[in-house]
A and B are shown apart, each in its own frame.
Chain A
Amino acid sequence: MSTTSSRARQGRILLEMAMRNLVASRVRTLVVGGIVALGVVVVVLGSSLLDSIDVGMTRSIQDSLGGHVQLYNAASRDPLALYGGTMGESVLEPIDDFARLKAAALTVPGVKQVVPMGIDQAMVSMGNVFDVALERLRADVRRRLEQGAPAEDPDYEAHKAHLRRMATLLQQELRQAREIADETSGVYKDRKADFDALEQAVQGGFWDQFDRDPLASLEFLENRVAPLSLDGGFTFIRYVGTDPEAFQKAFPGAQVVEGASIPPGQRGVLLGKLYAEEWLKLRAARRLDKIKEARELHGRKIARDEELQRWVKENTGQTRDILLQLDPVRTREAVRRLQAALGSRETDPAKLVSALLDTDDRNFDERHRIFYAELAPLLQLYTVKVGDFITIKAPSRSGYVNSVNVPVYGFVEFRGLERSALAGMMSVMDVHSWRDLYGYLTPERAAEIGKLKERAGATTVAREDAEAALFGDGGPAPAPSAAPRAVDEPALLAGSSGRQSREDLFGRRYTQAETDAGVALNAAVILDDPRRIDEIMPKLVAAAAGAGMKVKAVTWLEAAGIVGQSMGLLRMVLYLAVLIIFAVALVIINNAMVMATLQRVKEIGTMRAIGAQRRFVLVLVVVEVVTTGLVFGGLGSILGILIVHAVGWTGGIAATNDTMYFLFSGPALIPRLGTASLVTSVVIVFLVSILSALYPAVLAMRVTPLEAMQSDD
């Protein structure tokens, strides 16, 4: 008989004995097995959840802002944080010449694309509704001045009536404020002058006189009345200044959801959709959206939820935002529509709108529909719309505030990060406007400064020659251009004509070279194969060094800052949980098997006496434990797989808050089973079984055949 077949037979009896021992002590086997199965379920479930989160987040981040590798100036004090750090924006030293870095990076094999970036926060000035209405009226006035006033001019009359109505609404509001004010304070006296101005704007006399001097009247409304309206002001915007064309090619996750992309080589901005929702949307509409979401996604009920009740109350109480937008024509239309939709005979638009927004759990869906179908078409839902110019202000690096006007081409959303307060607010702006804002030289600035210098006769003087140049060193007489001359007023005025230069600026197409030449704060590098990140990173640094630039390269994950860290943290928590479960399992299995061994000392001794080698006993114990582990580990795996599939079939785990939405990269997480997680769990179970079997196995091996001879039990 060959040794192999006899070993096989021995193996069979070993397995059979092990199985029978396991069946003989069912309770112990079930306890040990249950713990193993639980551990495996946690591993399978947890790791497939994490894997899915990982895959989703990786795609979201890589496709939206991260790319594969990020390069930034090595002299920077802070690390790059694409989504902002815990202490605000990180301060980066600029990359002075992006074109040079791009050229160097593109020499590295495997690099597909290099995109310039400058991420910063800025303020966006929001006009108030008065400004919008005044702008319309001003256009009418200008038209009438240029083309003559027609006898019938319904637009003009409607716009005038709208402003008068707005002034009336404002007056009512301020009157309430005055009733509770302290009449002796200085503030009150200031306000009184304002109130008098408002009083004037409401009276019929002012409007009768309007046509006689429309420009003066407009000025009065603009300077004295409009500032009393409290809305407007500014909001904060977080944006990335970049090469929009390259950006859209590199980041498929950035999707223009409304409007159009910024045309190649032109200035413009794509506002973040979430930013627009949060800050630019009509508040009543925003609150309706939030109530709808709370009800549908999280199953909250207005009747039981204080926050929802507060939103409803705010909506019914604050109808002014809506009413201010409606001129008399639209007001009539709104009243008609709402009467029909609500089946009401009410004629007061304020009461109708308030009634519409007075929602409860029963009528909410219907009211939401009416709002968007009937009322919304008469309103401007967002204070900024596609085609508007917005003014963005930011402190430049040298400290003074810069501002730029940029056209809004559309709204952008980052797939998977739509709802993340950290990552979803991001807007995208052209790199030239960013350079203007950030205080870096753009081609126009350079040209402008050059022109100014020429006109003023300034010459570039080296620091060490400054004294000589200023006071003379017995050399040539002062430059002739310093001689006084007449100011060419029309030329200066033409040069500073805002309209003219605006069209220059926004009609202008920058070449790729112009876009690339200049500063950037960081550069996103896209690779042909993301798996080669670690290999390519040092090559990028070396290539940049070769071009005379010291840059630091970080992976997309590091660059994602706190966003990336949250992933790592989740993983740590899971590993810790798994570690604890299996540490407990190890102790329990070990204990159970030690007990089992001690109970079977006589049996083991008998087997040894009859002629079983020590190894046989060792293997017997190990086989018992490993069989338990694998059988119950297998059951646990199956259970885990079933749960994962069940969760998938029922539509995944719904994100019930924005953090979850962000982690899940969408409204729900559908866990996907990874072979890696299954293999891991099998390996862990195997190792834990072997480890926990070691001590009892050694104990069993030490049992001598003498134990068989003891006559007492």
Chain B
Amino acid sequence: MPEPIVEAVDVAKVYQLGKTEVHALRHVDLLVERGEFLSIAGPSGSGKTTLLNLIGGVDVPSSGTVRVDGEDTSKLTERALTRLRLDHIGFIFQTFNLVAVLTVFQNVEFPLLLQGRMTSAERRRRVNALLESVGLADHSRHRPSELSGGQRQRVAVARALVANPPLVLADEPTANLDSKTGGTIIDLMREMNRRDGTTFIFSTHDPKVMSHASAIVRLEDGRVVGREEAQGAAGDEAR
């Protein structure tokens, strides 16, 4: 029985906002198996982003534990947490978040450079292969500002996957895209999930986007209110 990729146990997150305490998450338990294509759904303010931040190791829980690929994030140093994000997690952002001064190629190459494990030839092969698979092989020398929103998000997908992480997190990846483009991005993510068995966790409040998920976890007021498995779930194939 393989270890779950994400395991959150009784997680709470409390923000101090002036004098009032904001309970972003309360008593959340979550288990994500490897190869899942999981959607976290819920209205604004329900705690979707907070939960993704905790899973992504960019934030730590106020109580409870979050284990990612077996590591307890609250027990890691800042340095080790950064290393965890680099080696185990890919990020896709709502606002794409490409480095404006780097080319498409360099943006995708960036995590590999931070890792510093590959030779430049290996890196070139890997980056070109990914750009090919997101359909941007011809745009490798372009700057992000020269691309459309959908193209930028494809670059972001390629960047998230380039280091071959077991887990990719995407916070509202289609929120800044029109529904057609958003659909193609979800399709692309799904394709990568199927092809490489990479686990995807993405938040959304768009039912159309949710429909692609292998499972949907619903959040309300910082609590998990339900988990639905899709029929003929994509996740099953990976198992």
Chain A interfacial positions (CB closer than 8 Å to B): 1, 3, 5-7, 9-10, 13, 16-17, 20-21, 23-24, 602-603, 606-614, 616, 704-706, 708-709, 711, 713
CB distance from B92 to the nearest CB of A (A): 11
* A20–B172 alpha-carbon span in the complex (Å): 30
Contact B102 A17 (CB under 8 A): yes
Q: A611-B86, A614-B78, A709-B58 are in contact. Are A3 and B116 (CB under 8 A)?
A: yes
CB-CB under 8 A from B79, the residues of chain A are: 613
Additional pairs, 4, CB under 8 Å, beyond known A17-B101, A606-B97, A709-B52? A602-B95, A609-B58, A609-B85, A708-B93
CB distance from B123 to the nearest CB of A (A): 9
Q: A24-B101, A603-B97 are in contact. Are A13 and B113 (CB under 8 A)?
A: yes
Contact B58 A704 (CB under 8 A): yes
* A21–B106 alpha-carbon span in the complex (Å): 14
B residues 75-90 near A (Cβ < 8 Å) are 78-79, 82-83, 85-87
B92-119 interface mask toward A, CB cutoff 8 Å, 1 = contact, 0 = none?
0111010111100010001101111111
A610, A706, A708: the one within 8 Å of B110 (CB): A610
Contact A705 B58 (CB under 8 A): yes
CB-CB under 8 A from A24, the residues of chain B are: 100-101
Contact A610 B116 (CB under 8 A): no
B201-225 interface mask toward A, CB cutoff 8 Å, 1 = contact, 0 = none?
0000000000000000000000000
Contact A603 B110 (CB under 8 A): no
CB-CB under 8 A from B94, the residues of chain A are: 711
CB-CB under 8 A from A21, the residues of chain B are: 101
Contact B119 A706 (CB under 8 A): no
A-B contact pairs, 15 of them (CB 8 A): A1-B116, A1-B118, A1-B119, A9-B116, A9-B120, A17-B99, A23-B101, A606-B91, A606-B97, A611-B87, A612-B82, A704-B58, A706-B58, A709-B171, A713-B95
CB-CB under 8 A from A616, the residues of chain B are: 114
Contact B106 A6 (CB under 8 A): no
CB-CB under 8 A from A608, the residues of chain B are: 58, 82
Contact B59 A611 (CB under 8 A): no
Contact B85 A706 (CB under 8 A): no
Contact B97 A708 (CB under 8 A): yes
* A713–B114 alpha-carbon span in the complex (Å): 26
* A243–B172 alpha-carbon span in the complex (Å): 98
Residue in chain A with minimal CB distance to B172: A711
Residue in chain A with minimal CB distance to B116: A6
Contact B93 A612 (CB under 8 A): no
CB-CB under 8 A from B102, the residues of chain A are: 17, 20
A1, A17, A602, A613: the one within 8 Å of B117 (CB): A1
Contact A603 B99 (CB under 8 A): yes
CB-CB under 8 A from A13, the residues of chain B are: 106, 110, 113
Tally A-B pairs: CB < 8 A. Answer: 93
Q: A21-B101, A705-B85, A709-B171 are in contact. Are A612 and B95 (CB under 8 A)?
A: no
* A1–B159 alpha-carbon span in the complex (Å): 21
Contact B172 A6 (CB under 8 A): no
Chain A CB within 10 Å — which of B53, B100, B114 has the most?
Answer: B114
CB-CB under 8 A from A711, the residues of chain B are: 94-95, 171-172, 175
* A166–B239 alpha-carbon span in the complex (Å): 134
CB-CB under 8 A from B52, the residues of chain A are: 709
Contact B86 A606 (CB under 8 A): no
Contact A611 B82 (CB under 8 A): yes
Q: B49 contacts the other chain (Cβ, under 8 Å)?
A: yes
B49, B85, B115: the one within 8 Å of A709 (CB): B49
* A711–B159 alpha-carbon span in the complex (Å): 19
CB distance from B52 to the nearest CB of A (A): 8
Q: A610-B111, A611-B86 are in contact. Are A6 and B99 (CB under 8 A)?
A: no
Q: B56 contacts the other chain (Cβ, under 8 Å)?
A: yes
* A3–B117 alpha-carbon span in the complex (Å): 9
* A16–B176 alpha-carbon span in the complex (Å): 30
Contact A610 B86 (CB under 8 A): yes
CB-CB under 8 A from A3, the residues of chain B are: 116
Chain B CB within 10 Å — which of A602, A607, A609, A611 has the most?
Answer: A611
* A610–B117 alpha-carbon span in the complex (Å): 16
CB-CB under 8 A from B91, the residues of chain A are: 606, 609-610, 708
CB-CB under 8 A from A10, the residues of chain B are: 113-114, 116
Q: A10-B114, A610-B114, A611-B114 are in contact. Are A706 and B95 (CB under 8 A)?
A: no
CB-CB under 8 A from A603, the residues of chain B are: 97, 99-100
Residue in chain B with minimal CB distance to A6: B116
B residues 8-32 near A (Cβ < 8 Å) are none
Contact B93 A606 (CB under 8 A): yes
Contact A607 B99 (CB under 8 A): yes
CB-CB under 8 A from B119, the residues of chain A are: 1
CB-CB under 8 A from A704, the residues of chain B are: 58
Residue in chain A with minimal CB distance to B49: A709
* A609–B94 alpha-carbon span in the complex (Å): 14
Contact A612 B58 (CB under 8 A): no
* A23–B100 alpha-carbon span in the complex (Å): 12
CB-CB under 8 A from A610, the residues of chain B are: 85-86, 91, 110-111, 114, 159
Closest 4 CB pairs of A and B: A611-B86, A6-B116, A20-B101, A705-B58
CB-CB under 8 A from A611, the residues of chain B are: 82-83, 85-87, 111, 114-115
* A603–B144 alpha-carbon span in the complex (Å): 13
CB distance from B114 to the nearest CB of A (A): 5
CB-CB under 8 A from B113, the residues of chain A are: 9-10, 13
CB distance from B4 to the nearest CB of A (A): 22
* A611–B162 alpha-carbon span in the complex (Å): 13
* A616–B110 alpha-carbon span in the complex (Å): 12
Residue in chain A with minimal CB distance to B94: A711
Residue in chain B with minimal CB distance to A19: B101
* A609–B101 alpha-carbon span in the complex (Å): 18
CB-CB under 8 A from A20, the residues of chain B are: 101-102
Contact A6 B117 (CB under 8 A): yes
Residue in chain B with minimal CB distance to A711: B94
CB-CB under 8 A from B116, the residues of chain A are: 1, 3, 5-7, 9-10
* A10–B114 alpha-carbon span in the complex (Å): 7
Residue in chain B with minimal CB distance to A612: B114
Contact B101 A613 (CB under 8 A): no
CB-CB under 8 A from A713, the residues of chain B are: 95
* A10–B106 alpha-carbon span in the complex (Å): 12
* A609–B110 alpha-carbon span in the complex (Å): 12
Q: A612-B82, A614-B78 are in contact. Are A708 and B58 (CB under 8 A)?
A: yes
Contact A706 B53 (CB under 8 A): yes
CB distance from A689 to the nearest CB of B (A): 20
CB distance from B107 to the nearest CB of A (A): 10
Contact A602 B114 (CB under 8 A): no
CB-CB under 8 A from B99, the residues of chain A are: 17, 603, 606-607
Chain B CB within 10 Å — which of A6, A21, A610, A614 has the most?
Answer: A610
* A614–B118 alpha-carbon span in the complex (Å): 22
